[in-house]
Structure 1
Amino acid sequence: MYHNLSGFFESWEFEAGATSRILKNLTDESLKQEVTPNQWSLGRIAWHTVTAIKVISSQAGLRFEAPSEDWSVPSSANFIAESYIKSSHKFVEALETQWTDQTLLEQVDFFGIKMTKGSLLLFLNQHQTHHRGQMTILMRQAGLNVPGIYGPSKEEWAQFGMAEPRQSLFD
């Protein structure tokens, strides 16, 4: 739970930047990647991550212009990435003008779950982190490079002068 907006903004800046880096590495073709047939595609998860900013925060009364319809999924990876950046900026602007630190203590009903607005902001950050993890798996399956988030990715180890991690104890 966040107890002040400045703490949330610091966290959101890092997490939104990480999500943006993931989305910017997608290609139009990769948006079709699925784990198995009839499961959410990489594009569907990416677009859901964009629209969830408004859907989740609007449950707590925050108002701003951003996409909120999950369907249909855009066919342009660049459009998805740019939409995320715009939605994130509008979200932060709305928080700065509509909420205060005291607002974070107010209770909301989030799809039947009672929580504070500060907890809702934590949920939103964790929600995008969850979907970022799903996207990185699908990115690997699609043959894309994955940027590091909480440390270097496999592709980035060499940039730090490090040997690539071993695949097993027997390598």
Structure 2
Amino acid sequence: MSTQTTTMLNPLMMEMEKEAEATRRLLERVPEDRLDWRPHAKSFTLGELALHIAAIPAHIANMSRQSPYEMSSGKKQGPPKDRAEILDTFEKSQREAMKIWGETSDQDAMSEWSATLQGKPVFAAPRIGLARVIGMNHLYHHRGQLTVYLRLLDVPLPSIYGPTADENPFA
């Protein structure tokens, strides 16, 4: 991929930076003494979900560099040892993602990217679509799951887009 600075991805990168603030506030609320808690036997543990969210930005940006990307090649993350590991992973992941997307040219942003699972095609889109659909939308999905986990654990939820039952940034 080219290292020419993008303009097409700039609005998405601004969104990534803004959403990182909300994600960080949510990850800061993860209680260390409940990292092994899960709402259902088939669910991620709280720690696994939080660490997955933390790693999404860099993981998706790095995926954009491989096409086709073989989905079964991804390594499974182990559980985090503490909240500091989750937050450190998130900060590093966010920086790495912003660097990669910032170095992506408009031509590369619009070039076809694809994913396979055991060699079979599962997803194809321009790289900018990967950033939006598998990157940002995926992050929002799991962040929403995390708010449910935290609510079930009676952890006060931070404001994300407006007031919660626990916080009102407009009051």
TM norm structure 2 = 0.80
Give, in whole Å, the separation in 2 of the partners of 1:107 and 1:115.
6
Q: Indicate which of 91, 105, 112 corresponds to 1:100.
A: 105
**8 Å contact kept, 1:28–1:76:** yes
User: Which consecutive residues of structure 1, in runs of 5 or more, have no partner in the other structure?
Assistant: 63-67, 162-171
Distance 1:59 1:160, change over 3 A: closer
Give, in whole Å, the separation in 1 of the partners of 2:105 and 2:87.
29
Q: Indicate which of 143, 165, 170 corresponds to 1:160.
A: 170
1 or 2, which has the higher strand percentage? Answer: 2
Using the TM superposition, give the Cα deviation of residue 4 of structure 1 relative to its aligned residue in structure 2, in angstroms. Answer: 1.0
Q: For each residue in 1:132-165, what CA deviation from the matched residue of structure 2 results, as whole angstroms up to 9, or x when unmatched?
A: 00001101112211111111111113x634xxxx
Paired residue type of 1:153: T
**8 Å contact kept, 1:59–1:108:** no
What does residue 146 of structure 2 align with?
135
Give, in whole Å, the separation in 2 of the partners of 1:36 and 1:94.
36
1:87 aligns with 2:97: no
What does residue 113 of structure 1 align with?
123
Q: For each residue in 1:33-67, what CA deviation from the matched residue of structure 2 results, as whole angstroms up to 9, or x when unmatched?
A: 211234211111111122333332222207xxxxx
Give, in whole Å, the separation in 1 of the partners of 2:110 and 2:22.
27
Distance 1:90 1:59, change over 3 A: closer
TM norm structure 1 = 0.80
Q: Indicate which of 59, 63, 67 corresponds to 1:59.
A: 63
1:122 aligns with 2:132: yes
Give, in whole Å, the separation in 2 of the partners of 1:17 and 1:103.
27
What does residue 29 of structure 1 align with?
33
Over the residues paired in the alignment, what is the CA RMSD in angstroms?
1.9
Aligned length: 152
